[in-house]
Each structure stands twice: as C-alpha cells, then as structure tokens.
Amino acid sequence: MDIMQLDEQYIANTYHRFPVVFTKGKGSLIWDEAGKSYIDLGGGIAVNSFGIADPVWCEAVAGQLSCLQHVSNYYYTAPQTRLAALLCEKTGMKKVFFSNSGAEANECAIKAARKYGNDRSGGARNTIVTLKNSFHGRTLATLSATGQEALHQHFGPFLPGFIYADANDLEDMKEKLSDPAVCAVMMEMVQGEGGVNVLRKSFVRETARLAAEKDILVIVDEVQTGNGRCGSLYAYMQYDIEPDIVSTAKGLGGGLPLGATLFGPKTQGVLSAGMHGSTFGGNPVCAAGAVSVLERMNQPLMNAVMAKSKFILRALTGVPGVKSISGMGLMLGIETEAPPQDIAAACLKKGVLVLTAKDKVRLLPALNIPMELLEQAVDTLKQAILHP
Ligand SMILES: *Cc1c(COP(=O)(O)O)cnc(C)c1O
C-alpha cells in the first residue's frame, strides 16, 4: 500500500497534510518519493535552522549519537551543561530548564511563574495575562494560555488562571495588569500561528515597565521567533527589554526535539529539586545538535537573515494579489487576495514549500538558505500569487 493510504489508515487524523511524501533533503532542497525537488521555505515550521542534513549539525549529532544517546537527568552530561552555559552567556539569563518541545517549555514557564507569584503572596497571585490571538501550545495548560476562542473547544474544562489582553492595546494591557491576582504576562514578540503579527516596540516596552513596577514577571515565548529567526538571537533583543523567563524550542535543536526555559535573576531560584522534570529533556544528542546551532549564531548570520528578509519584502511588495507583508527577519507573513491555502497548493505544484498562518502565506526558510534558491523560490511564489 502506498504511504498516504497507510497514513490514512493508521495515523490519527489530526493533520491536514499536503499530498506529498518526502524522502530526503540537502540544505534548502527537499525531494519527494517520485524524485521531484522542491525549495523549502517552511523549514519544518522554523525547526531546520540550517536546512536539511547540514554537515556541521550532522557531525555534532552523529558524533554524540555514537557515544551516548541518553542517560536520564539523574546524571550529568557535557552537551546539556555546555548548551545551558551557551544560552546563558549569549542572553544574560541565569539558568535553564530543558524539555522536548515548545509546549513543554511554556508549561515550565507557567509553573515557575505561578510559584513565583504564590511564594510572594501566600497563594493569591497566580493569574497570567496572555494576548488574544496568541499561540502557546497544545497541552491543556498551554492551550488555556493560548488566547484564541476557536482553540478553547472540545477539551474543557480548561485551566483557570489566564486572562487575555488585546495585542498592541496598551490601555487594555494596563487594565489587565491592574488585577492583583496577576503574577506574569506572557507574549510572543511576533505572533506566529496567530498570523505573523508583530508587537509594537512601545507596547512591549511599556508592558514590561508596568509589569516590573508591580513585580509581575515578563515571559517571552520565543518558541518560533527565537534562535536567529527574526534577525537577532532572540526577538526580544530587538525590543530593549529584559524578560524574567524566556521559552524556546523549534529552531534550537536544528531538527531534533528540544525545548528550553530560561530564567533571569528574579526567577532563577524559583524551582528546586523535585518540582519539575523531564525524562528526555536536554537529551545529549539533541543538546549536541543545539550547541552546534547556537555556536553559529553570530552577527554575520543575523545580517544575512535581515538582508534576505529585505529581499523578500522588496520582491513581493506591490505585487498584484499581495495585500500586506508582516513579520521580522525570516519569519514573514504575506496577506494575499487569494486564499493562502490555494497559494500554498499552487507553490507545491511548482516545487516550492510554503506554510500558512490564518489569512497569510507564511515563510520560515532555513537561516542559511542560499540567495539563488531564495530568489528562485520567491519568483515561483510571486507567480503563484499572480496566477493562483
Ligand atoms: C510552535 C509553538 C509552540 C508549541 O511548540 P510545540 O513544539 O509544537 O509544542 C508554542 N509557542 C509558539 C509561539 C509556537 O510557535
């Protein structure tokens, strides 16, 4: 039987898949089972930071794989500590908890924020403000944190203790933060799944200032925006704020599952032994891959990300059928007149992979996508927009 039929028969049908089976890739090129090649502008949803089968990443992962694949968190391993040190050195954060996914990184952030608030108030401060249209994950806690009514269905009761403010609406945020039960505010600098909506600098800075005044923690969800995606190691670095907690995942492992929750000076001691844990979290193979990813996050790479971002912006601005373009760095959303799903399907036929988010075509290519492939893929996308 063919792969699509087997999938249909045996895999829980939670995904709308594109009708294509992939077998291999190299950098930003990927091949299907018929041998047709595609240029990848989706990056496995911002996961394959340096593309597919990148030689530096492969060497780091394979080297670790052949000496020690796992020992559990009862013991120390070098890749995990090395990765934590790198994350702290590069951000100024103080401590890291490792997990396996974005949802888990946020789950840890939520637990730590509640404990921080409860410790300081005898249990009276445990509400977290998140933003409408946000996305924080698929577990019950992170779904509850997600400010989208459409996702608060079927699985009730959802977790209490979350209130939702309008993104970029400072008055609404002020009002929400005035609730004495609030212990933290959590936000994505660019809402990814919500439609690639960029938060305004004034909104983020003022929110952070108000929060600090009230000893309310600032949690930045960098699961999608982080690890160079937006043209800086973490997107918050372009907002001149110092978060108390940063969560990240997707691009950190470069293609293997890894989540990280970073704690700042105020939160570094909140969790103690036995309060949280993960069997696989910080697995040495994933950590070794992530070390190699982070070691390559330097200014020249960030400059190249910004240059490619500008190229895409210039190439698509003013094209008939393009209504607007949003995003930062290589996390871009293109609002189109035709339904974005139609454009994604047309691109697939023409050999280019793009994603969608709400009413936009979403681009999350490898950070090191070669310029000539990017030019070719953007031209194909342009044709698909012109003739959907
Ligand atoms: C993808 C994503 C998550 C969830 O990550 P998973 O690894 O799928 O659990 C959380 N927050 C943001 C901002 C994301 O983009």
Q: What is the per-residue pLDDT across 310-322, written as a single tens digit (0 to 9) for each?
A: 999 999 999 999 9
Cα dihedral: 324, 28, 36, 336 (round 10): 0
Q: Is the CB of 194 under 6 A from ligand 1?
A: no
Give the other-Cβ count within 10 Å of 132's Cβ: 16
Question: Band of the pLDDT at 278, cuts 50, 70, 90?
Answer: very high
Which one, of 386, 297, 323, 384, lies nearest residue 348 by Cα?
384
Which one, of 52, 55, 62, lies nearest residue 25 by Cα?
52
Which atom number of ligand 1 is nearest to the Cα of residue 224? 15
Which one, of 28, 52, 23, lies nearest residue 38 by Cα?
28
Q: Could you tell me if 344 and 355 are in contact, meaning their C-beta atoms sit under 8 angstroms apart?
A: yes
What's the CA-to-centroid distance between 66 and ligand 1, angstroms?
A: 30
pLDDT exceeds cutoff 80 at 267 = yes
The CA distance from 56 to 368, in Å, is 13
What's the CA-to-centroid distance between 137 and ligand 1, angstroms?
A: 5
Residue 153 has what pLDDT?
A: 96
Percentage of the chain lying above the pLDDT 70 cut: 100
Question: Band of the pLDDT at 364, cuts 50, 70, 90?
Answer: very high
Average pLDDT score, the chain: 97
Residues 6+ apart with CB under 8 A from 7: 17
Q: Is the CB of 107 under 6 A from ligand 1?
A: no
Which atom number of ligand 1 is nearest to the Cα of residue 137? 4
What's the CA-to-centroid distance between 318 and ligand 1, angstroms?
A: 32
The CA distance from 20 to 92, in Å, is 43
Q: Is the CB of 102 under 6 A from ligand 1?
A: yes
Which atom number of ligand 1 is nearest to the Cα of residue 192? 15
Minimal-distance CA residue to ligand 1 atom 6: 102
Which atom number of ligand 1 is nearest to the Cα of residue 259? 7
Residue 388 has what pLDDT?
A: 79
Q: Is the CB of 325 under 6 A from ligand 1?
A: no
Q: The tokens 């047709």 sit on which residue? A: 36
**Cα 221 to Cα 49, 191, 354, distances in angstroms:** 18, 9, 23
User: What pTM value is reported for the model?
Assistant: 0.98
Q: Is the CB of 136 under 6 A from ligand 1?
A: yes
pLDDT exceeds cutoff 80 at 1 = no
The alpha helices in the chain, defined as continuous H runs, are 3-10, 43-46, 55-65, 78-91, 102-121, 140-145, 170-177, 201-213, 284-295, 299-316, 340-349, 371-386
The CA distance from 29 to 11, in Å, is 27
The CA distance from 347 to 319, in Å, is 16
pLDDT exceeds cutoff 90 at 386 = yes
